[in-house]
Amino acid sequence: MIKEKNLRRFTENIFLSIGCPKKDAKLAADVLISADLRGVDSHGTARLIGYVRLFDHGRLNPNPEIKIIHETPSTAVIDGDKGLGLVVAPYAMKVAIKKAKRYGSGWISVQNSNHFGIAGYHSMLALPHDMIGWAMTNAAPLVVPTFAVEKMLGTNPIAVSVPAGNQPPFVADFASTAVAYGKMEILQRKGLSAPIGWVQDANGNPTDDANAVKNGGGLLPLGGDREHGSHKGYGLGAIVDIFSGVLSGANFGPWVPPFATAGFHGVAAEQVGKGTGHFLGAMRIDGFRPKEEFKASMDTWIERFRNAKHIENQPVLIPGDPERELEKERRANGIPLNDKVIEDLQGLGDRFGVKF
């Protein structure tokens, strides 16, 4: 268990050590710490070493010149200049919010970026402005479309944040797959098998092998199989990919470059665009209804769903509830890190002379 403050300072210092400007280091650390606080452990400081590897291999520009390369009043494409997605996405969100202030909504497709951490962080940036926030990103291929035996899509998450009045905001943040790959990694570490419906093997058959994705299989789209609507999960992942990759001029589909793991950190010889792509958006709620009216209705929505009749001992949750609860708890009591992550962070500390 480590105090948020200490982990945050350490993370900032590592980003400073690879050459990020102070403001960017602070922001990038904030995105990772937010994931750790909200319980999305796979996207928190566990990934810090991956970003450093991207830097080591020349795939990450620690001091990028992020810029708008094309725009209309309510749309734009941003070139991330190989920067940290953790910094590029909030920049794009800022542009979306500015456009929404003036024109009602702003929609930004981003090329030439890297992994942007948790999608929810970026969508939530719209909330203080009384706006609805959207964030999506494509990612390296792990997912098999319906009927395919080839990995073609990333876990391509979608996050949508909606402000409320007296209630806390609605924050949906989910991958377009049955499960996040992080869950498979946990099973692998523990030597456990996976429930049927999460992955398929190299021949396209259902399997409980937690290593299936490594062995030629793939993660299944949300829905699992055709009979249970996997073509919908595939469609959703495809939409995210097209908005993030094709609209922006980034890579898309099987060409999206992988995050740097210990085993692999290169990119495919063939590229169809620049880096990883994101799609960010903001809509003013008073572009539709008076603010207070909307917020009162949103409170009604949340209260009604939270009080829906439910199975024994498990009330219905509002998207964002579990993460917010965990954040409160971890802010108070600290963030649990597993041994492998601690080892990685200590290694980074040793290398850059930063005390962990």
Q: What residue type is assigned to position 201 of the chain?
A: D
> Taking CB under 8 A as the criterion, which residues in 127-156 touch a second copy?
132, 145-150, 152
CB of 66 to a second copy, least distance (A): 17
Residue with smaller CB distance to a second copy, 2 or 282: 282
Strand order in the sheet with 218-219: 206-207, 199-200, 218-219
Q: What residue type is assigned to position 137 of the chain?
A: T
Give the HSE-up count for residue 304: Cα atoms under 13 Å, Cβ half-sphere: 6
Going residue by residue from 165 to 184, which x/- string records binding to a second copy, judged by CB under 8 A? -----x-x-xxxxxx-----
CB of 162 to a second copy, least distance (A): 6
Per rule CB under 8 A, is residue 314 in the interface with a second copy?
yes
Among positions 9, 21, 75, 267, the unique one binding a second copy when judged by CB under 8 A = 75
Residue with smaller CB distance to a second copy, 179 or 345: 179
> Taking CB under 8 A as the criterion, which residues in 323-352 touch a second copy?
none
Nearest one of 58, 98, 52 to 75, comparing CA atoms: 98
Among positions 4, 30, 71, 130, the unique one binding a second copy when judged by CB under 8 A = 71
Binding range to a second copy, per CB under 8 A, among 28-36, 51-59, 256-264, 287-295: 287-295
> Taking CB under 8 A as the criterion, which residues in 248-267 touch a second copy?
248-249, 252-254
Determine the size of the site formed for a second copy (CB under 8 A): 86
> Which region holds residue 276: left if phi is over 0, alpha if psi is between -120 and 50, else beta?
beta
Query: Hey, what are 247's tokens?
Result: 């609209």
C-beta of residue 42 within 8 angstroms of C-beta of residue 21: no
Residue with smaller CB distance to a second copy, 192 or 317: 317
CA–CA dist 16, 323 (Å, integer): 28
Per rule CB under 8 A, is residue 77 in the interface with a second copy?
yes
CA–CA dist 67, 49 (Å, integer): 27
Among positions 3, 57, 67, 289, the unique one binding a second copy when judged by CB under 8 A = 289
The residue assigned the tokens 């498990």 is 314
Per rule CB under 8 A, is residue 121 in the interface with a second copy?
no
CA–CA dist 228, 239 (Å, integer): 19
CA–CA dist 168, 305 (Å, integer): 13
H, E, C per residue of 150-216: CCCECCCCEEEEECCCCCCCEEEEECCECCCHHHHHHHHHHCCCCCCCCEECCCCCEECCCCCCCCC
CB of 229 to a second copy, least distance (A): 5
CB of 198 to a second copy, least distance (A): 7
CB of 252 to a second copy, least distance (A): 6
Going residue by residue from 196 to 235, which x/- string records binding to a second copy, judged by CB under 8 A? -xx----xx-----------------xxx--xxx-xxxxx
Among positions 37, 112, 319, 345, the unique one binding a second copy when judged by CB under 8 A = 319
